[in-house]
Amino acid sequence: MSQAQAKESMQFQTEVNQLLQLMIHSLYSNKEIFLRELISNGADACDKLRFNAISDDSLYEGDGDLRVEVEFDEEANTVTIRDNGIGMTRDQVIEHIGTIAKSGTKEFLSKLSGDAAKDSNLIGQFGVGFYSAFIVADKVTLTTRAAGTTESVTWESDGQNGFTLEAADKASRGTEIILHLKEEEKEFANGYRLRNIISTYSDHIPLPVKMLKQPTPEYDEEGNVKEDVEPKAPEWEVVNKANALWTMPKSEVSDEQYQEFYKHIAHDWQDALAWSHNHVEGNLEYKSLLYVPAKAQMDLWEPEQRNGIKLYVQRVFIMDDTKNLMPRYMRFVRGVIDSNDLPLNVSREILQSNKTIDSMKKASVKKVLGLLGSMAKNDAEKYQSFWDEFGKVLKEGPTEDASNKEQIAKLLRFSSTHTDAEKQDVTLEDYVSRMQEGQEKIYYVTADTFTAAKNSPHLEVFRAKGIEVLLLSDRVDEWMISGLTEFDGKQLQSVAKGELDLGKLDSEEDKEEQKKVEDDAQSLLKQLKEVLEDKVEDVRVSHRLTSSPSCIVLNEHDMALYMQQLMKQAGHAMPSSKPILEINPTHPMLVRMESETDDEQFKDWASILFDQALLAEGGQLEDPAGFVHKLNALMLKLS
Ligand SMILES: Nc1ncnc2c1ncn2[C@@H]1O[C@H](COP(=O)(O)OP(=O)(O)OP(=O)(O)O)[C@@H](O)[C@H]1O
């Protein structure tokens, strides 16, 4: 007996039970969505077949009438969902249905707290998909045959103890799923209920969903039900509108319909935050329906993301595209673009360098930016919830998409010393409106954590003068800043890089005072330079510090120290440029050092001064043990 014929039991991948239990619990009050999920899968399978058949007509096997069928059996307490789409091979069944090894699953499960209420919120990130069948069924039997093959297979599971696989004898291609309903879910084995769910959730998907016509009794002349009538062959009828929602005029689509369609294409079970629906005519003709989800998808940070924009050509599904129709910094967008200009046989290669695609992409990016802009303007709270989910992704924008930099910059939100709160809700426009008389630049500091940014010694003079500084502590921030060098004609300036020139913000008195401190510190500077020659490029008097003894200053174009560290850990070779040490000669530690006559002792002081500045900057010490040793010796001396 070949492997394909034997009945075989297999285990689910780890944690599948946990996930199923969580899903059943989370979606219990919304359980009828199982039907939408399974119909959506069937519709996707038909889309894939239609696309593959463009180059290989034989895949249709004489049946090009693509559809999803829903049947029920009240007595057996079952609901069946059947499609004549692409189907699955045995290996595909194992890969897609028998496992939960979707990218990001592990991370998702690791976030679970065990608190059912909290975890229910999290499941929103995890597309529910096929497994939602187990919300209502205690056994699921799936039989499938891949288009273009002859072997079919039956998968069966109770959602608890793994699954079995067995060779089947399916005459036609596609997938049939029988849900053996739980006793308490009997209500779903009912034609009226099923039709109702289909028209709520699947009315506007671009594929007919069919059910058998309800038998209507025949009456005699007296109005009595005729008995002994020859039973008619059951007839199928389309029970949804199947009118591809994006092709409908906006005025005819309700918010509920937009939301249901979103759930269908995004495989999300929560409402979208906003959408933009466009019918474009002119040089190019296309329709687009673009959604901003409410919650970050699980794989938002994976290099290879699933789904994205569905590309259609004249209502024929071509492919799910994650790269060509939206830039990476908009990878959270879900939707449909349906072109009238592209050829039906458009290939992945063509997509990568095609003028029509480029123009549609450009216009779609503008649409999403416009959508976000008006959300920010009209509903700050909603925009804030968007920012909290997707802000870090949008921050990739200024560097990735220079042509829309200004518009993206207006959408950015920051923490700042204005409130010192971690919440990112300060706009660059807010900042500019609060700039001081004579202030020419927008100041920021970057650090590994929010606390490190907030407590950075570089902020001391800014705090003393009441000048606002943006506090940047997301990993992406250094990258964002490399693309965002100015806003509203004002340069963005790191407070930790380069020579600090506060320009008009320093009074003549300040400048005179600084000059005096500098003159007085000349010999101390000279001594320090000699001792620290190997470690620093220069030692100079700081105008940034008011209460710390020293700080590290980087060259204008150097990456922040904590970023350099990260890059090194990731295996990148980093050029080793030496930093500058700035000192505060009025600090008691420096005053004490100046009077030190023991050379060895002075060296230790200098070394500690440098090392602690490095630590405050998120850098790593070359010789941490040496630092501790010197510090201890010093403390003992002082005791
Ligand atoms: N009716 C079907 N015909 C063919 N393949 C199917 C069918 N149903 C599911 N699949 C395959 O199984 C995979 C997993 O389905 P599942 O519903 O769990 O997730 P999904 O639809 O890909 O996305 P999500 O998890 O976001 O819902 C699908 O991507 C598809 O490859």
175 lines ligand 1 (CB under 6 A): yes
Name the residue at shortest CA distance from atom 13 of ligand 1.
96
130 lines ligand 1 (CB under 6 A): yes
User: Ligand 1 centroid vs 41 CA: distance in angstroms?
Assistant: 5
299 lines ligand 1 (CB under 6 A): no
Q: Where are the domains of the chain?
A: 8-216+233-238, 245-389, 413-504, 507-638
From the DSSP assignment, how many helices (H) and strands (E) are in the chain?
A: 23, 22
Other C-beta atoms within 10 Å of 126: how many?
23
What number does CATH give the domain 507-638? 1.20.120.790
48 lines ligand 1 (CB under 6 A): no
User: Ligand 1 centroid vs 401 CA: distance in angstroms?
Assistant: 33
420 φψ region: left (φ > 0), alpha (ψ -120 to 50), beta (else)? left
Tracing tokens 């029920």 back to the chain, one arrives at 72
Q: Residue 1: which pLDDT band, with cuts at 50, 70 and 90?
A: very low
CA distances from 384 to 288, 391, 423, 427, 525 (A): 25, 9, 10, 11, 48
User: Ligand 1 centroid vs 465 CA: distance in angstroms?
Assistant: 59
Q: What are the b/e assignments for 510-532, b being 16+ CB within 10 Å?
A: eeeeeeeeeeebeebbebbbebb
Above 80 in pLDDT, residue 572? Answer: no
Other C-beta atoms within 10 Å of 277: how many?
20
Mean pLDDT of 403-428: 96
Mean pLDDT of 118-140: 76
Above 50 in pLDDT, residue 225? Answer: yes
* Residue 37 labelled as part of a binding site: yes
Atom of ligand 1 nearest to the CA of 86: 4
Enclosing H/E stretch for 352: helix 348-352
Return the half-sphere exposure (C-beta side, CA atoms, 13 A cut-off) of residue 164.
Answer: 12
User: Ligand 1 centroid vs 40 CA: distance in angstroms?
Assistant: 9
DSSP 24-42: HHHTGGGTTHHHHHHHHHH
Above 60 in pLDDT, residue 396? Answer: yes
Mean per-residue pLDDT over the chain, rounded: 88
Name the residue at shortest CA distance from atom 22 of ligand 1.
129
What number does CATH give the domain 245-389? 3.30.230.80
| pLDDT at res. 233 | 77
Do the beta carbons of residue 216 and residue 100 sit within 8 Å? no
Q: Which of 603, 618, 604 is nearest to 552 (CA)?
A: 618
Q: Which of 494, 496, 493, 447 is nearest to 472 (CA)?
A: 447
129 lines ligand 1 (CB under 6 A): yes
| pLDDT at res. 31 | 87
Rounded Cα distance, 295 and 297, in Å:
6
Q: Among 16-30, 238-252, 339-353, 618-632, which is the least confidently predicted range?
A: 16-30
206 lines ligand 1 (CB under 6 A): no
Mean pLDDT of 549-568: 80
CA distances from 306 to 13, 173, 300, 403 (A): 20, 25, 9, 27
Q: Among 131-135, 362-366, 471-475, which is the least confidently predicted range?
A: 131-135
CA distances from 409 to 369, 413, 428, 488 (A): 11, 9, 7, 10
Do the beta carbons of residue 76 and residue 193 sit within 8 Å? no
Domain 413-504 has CATH 3.40.50.11260: yes
* Residue 451 labelled as part of a binding site: no
298 lines ligand 1 (CB under 6 A): no
337 lines ligand 1 (CB under 6 A): no
> Domain 8-216+233-238 belongs to what topology?
Heat Shock Protein 90 (3.30.565)
Name the residue at shortest CA distance from atom 12 of ligand 1.
96
Q: Residue 122: which pLDDT band, with cuts at 50, 70 and 90?
A: low
User: Ligand 1 centroid vs 458 CA: distance in angstroms?
Assistant: 52
Above 80 in pLDDT, residue 140? Answer: yes
| pLDDT at res. 112 | 66
pLDDT digits (tens, 9 = 90+) for 333-352: 999 999 999 887 777 777 77
Q: Among 107-111, 163-167, 352-356, which is the least confidently predicted range?
A: 107-111
User: Ligand 1 centroid vs 343 CA: distance in angstroms?
Assistant: 27
* Residue 330 labelled as part of a binding site: no
pLDDT digits (tens, 9 = 90+) for 288-310: 999 999 998 877 877 777 778 99
Mean pLDDT of 261-270: 88
pLDDT digits (tens, 9 = 90+) for 239-260: 998 889 999 999 999 999 999 9
Q: What angle do CA 448, 450, 454 make, to 5 degrees?
A: 110
Name the residue at shortest CA distance from atom 1 of ligand 1.
42
Give the highest mean pLDDT range of 97-111, 294-308, 476-490. Answer: 476-490
Atom of ligand 1 nearest to the CA of 268: 26
